């Protein structure tokens, strides 16, 4: 049987679907919409292998609607228009059941391709169901996004993944013929990274590599079989998150050689230049930050440049930026500061802004003391005067801790000269 295990055991109904109870549980929003038959255009956003395509198929099947599918990787504007024309024609037979158009990896659609969908979605010729691993706010044009509901799919937990394996062993015609015991699953969980499709395909690889009718799955067996066949998974694009993780960690770890290697792997796999550049832009702030603020400027220029140029020349710009980031001094002080501040906000809520910091655009506000006793820094020597800028309940709380690098040593001295008594820098 040539069909992969992940396809053979793909759930056909919501009752077969494991996890995502917030969407498909008894009171899930998607469950209610399918039952009512009132299904809006929507976008599934979540990690790979969490069932986005499966849910699209279930919606079409259980709602009794015609189903069309396109892949953003291989489809152009012409393909979109042809499918919409067919859907429009077929939709004429259905008063409330307009066809469903499923677009996998919709984040890879260009602006013109997304524009070509607008009319059909707006007029109700099709119900659009998109699937993406990227934040739709960045990748889907506002006009289309405003016409869709976004549903977030959560990563599978260990119990979910083990349940998926157990169901496969009980229901798949080929696996039922074998006596398979799941003694250990840690290696399968770790190597799959929460991707159910990857998990099932790795499981099938291990099982098919052993001829014995009785088989015990152990971590040692999985590591031995899967690592010999890693290349099989590279070609499917399922290591998308593994490789970008290795790339960013190489930059964080100041290893330009490893960073360029993982960059080359992504380029060879046809990874979107914007995806790579965006991750470097984040790393420039999260991992390098105030130790070298120019890194953010370089990364932003890289993002703009590769959008203009594209492959193959974009590889040179990406390489230059990756090496620059990897060889920059590192600091996560800005990242840690906002994390601490957000945690404080979640714990203390909406604390009042001190009166002297409030805006006073009206006379009543001035009479109430808004802005009174505010000390304008530029009126004082060195453009500084000690004041209270935090809510009273947080006075003296320190969120920013300078990193241990040359540039932030200067920042610490700057702060010590001004805030030694209050923040103890």
Of 234, 259, 276, the domain-final residue: 234
The mean pLDDT value for 53-72 works out to 86
Domain co-membership, 26 together with 116: yes
What does DSSP assign to residue 16?
G
CB 196 within 8 A of CB 6: yes
Which of 137, 152, 167 delimits the end of a domain? Answer: 152
Residues 56 and 148 in one domain: yes
> For tokens 């991707």, what's the residue?
195
Helices 29-36, 52-63: crossing angle, 10 deg rounding: 30
Among 152, 167, 193, where does a domain finish?
A: 152
Main-chain phi, psi angles of 28, to 5 degrees: -65, 150
Beta-bridge partner residues of 214:
179
Give me the CATH number covering residue 196.
1.10.8.60
Q: Who wins on pLDDT, 336 or 65?
A: 336
Residue 88 near residue 119, CB atoms below 8 Å: no
Give me the pLDDT at residue 78, please: 83
Q: Which residues contact 180 (CB under 8 A, 6 or more apart)?
A: 169, 207, 215, 216, 217
At 231, the pLDDT band (50, 70, 90 cuts) reads very low
Examine residue 1 and state whether it is found in any structural domain, yes or no: no
pTM of the model: 0.59
Q: Residue 364: its pLDDT value, please?
A: 65
CATH of the domain at 312: 1.20.272.10
Q: For residue 383, what pLDDT is reported?
A: 86
Residue 300 has a pLDDT of 96
Band (3; pLDDT cuts 50, 70, 90): confident
- The domain containing residue 187 runs over which residues? 158-234
Mean pLDDT for the stretch of residues 297-313: 91
Q: Which of the two residues, 366 and 30, has the higher pLDDT score?
A: 30
pLDDT per position as a tens digit, 346-399: 888 888 888 877 776 666 666 666 667 788 888 888 888 888 888 888 888 888
Sign of CA dihedral 317, 323, 325, 328: negative
Q: In sequence order, what DSSP letters do the residues of 125-148 get, joined into one string?
A: S-EEEEEESS-HHHHS-HHHHTTS
Q: What is the pLDDT of residues 73-106, one digit of tens each?
A: 777 778 888 888 887 777 544 445 688 899 988 8
Q: What pLDDT, in 10s, does the model give residues 243-273?
A: 888 899 999 999 999 999 999 988 887 788 8
pLDDT at 93: 44
Residues 38 and 116 in one domain: yes
């Amino acid at each position: 049987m040539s069909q992969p295990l992940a396809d053979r055991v793909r759930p056909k109904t919501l009752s077969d679907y494991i996890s995502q109870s917030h969407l498909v549980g008894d009171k899930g929003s998607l469950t209610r919409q399918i039952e009512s038959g009132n299904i809006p255009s929507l976008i599934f956003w979540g990690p790979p292998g969490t069932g986005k395509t499966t849910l699209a198929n279930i919606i079409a099947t259980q709602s009794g609607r015609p189903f069309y599918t396109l892949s953003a990787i291989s489809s152009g504007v012409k393909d979109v228009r042809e499918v919409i024309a067919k859907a429009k024609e077929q939709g004429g037979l259905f008063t409330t059941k307009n066809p469903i158009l499923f677009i996998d990896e919709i984040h890879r659609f260009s602006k013109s391709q997304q524009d070509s969908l607008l009319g059909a979605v707006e007029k109700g010729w099709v119900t659009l169901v998109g699937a993406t691993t990227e934040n739709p706010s960045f990748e889907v044009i506002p006009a289309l996004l405003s016409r869709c509901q976004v549903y977030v799919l959560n990563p599978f937990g260990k119990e979910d993944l083990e349940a998926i394996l157990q169901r496969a062993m009980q229901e798949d015609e080929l696996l039922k013929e074998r006596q398979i015991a799941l003694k250990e699953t840690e290696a399968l969980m770790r190597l799959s990274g929460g991707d159910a499709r990857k998990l099932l395909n790795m499981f099938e690889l291990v099982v098919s590599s052993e001829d014995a009718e009785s088989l015990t799955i152990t971590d040692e067996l999985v590591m031995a079989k899967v690592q010999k066949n890693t290349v099989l998974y590279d070609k499917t694009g399922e290591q998308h998150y593994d490789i970008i993780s290795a790339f960013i960690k190489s930059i964080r770890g100041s290893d330009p050689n490893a960073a360029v290697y993982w960059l080359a792997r992504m380029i060879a796999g046809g990874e979107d230049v914007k995806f790579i550049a965006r991750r470097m832009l984040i790393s420039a702030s999260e991992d390098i930050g105030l130790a070298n603020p120019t890194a953010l400027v370089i990364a932003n220029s890289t993002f703009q440049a590769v959008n203009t140029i594209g492959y193959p020349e974009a590889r040179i710009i990406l390489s230059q930026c990756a090496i620059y980031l990897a060889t920059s001094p590192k600091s996560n002080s800005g990242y840690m500061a906002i994390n601490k501040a957000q945690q404080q906000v979640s714990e203390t809520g909406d604390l009042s802004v001190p009166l002297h910091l409030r805006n006073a655009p009206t006379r009543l506000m001035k009479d109430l003391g808004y802005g009174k006793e505010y000390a304008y820094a530029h009126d004082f020597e060195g453009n500084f005067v000690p004041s209270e800028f935090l809510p009273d309940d947080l006075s003296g709380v320190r969120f920013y801790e300078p990193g241990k690098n040359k540039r932030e040593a200067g920042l610490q001295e700057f702060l010590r000269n001004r805030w030694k008594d209050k923040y103890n820098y």
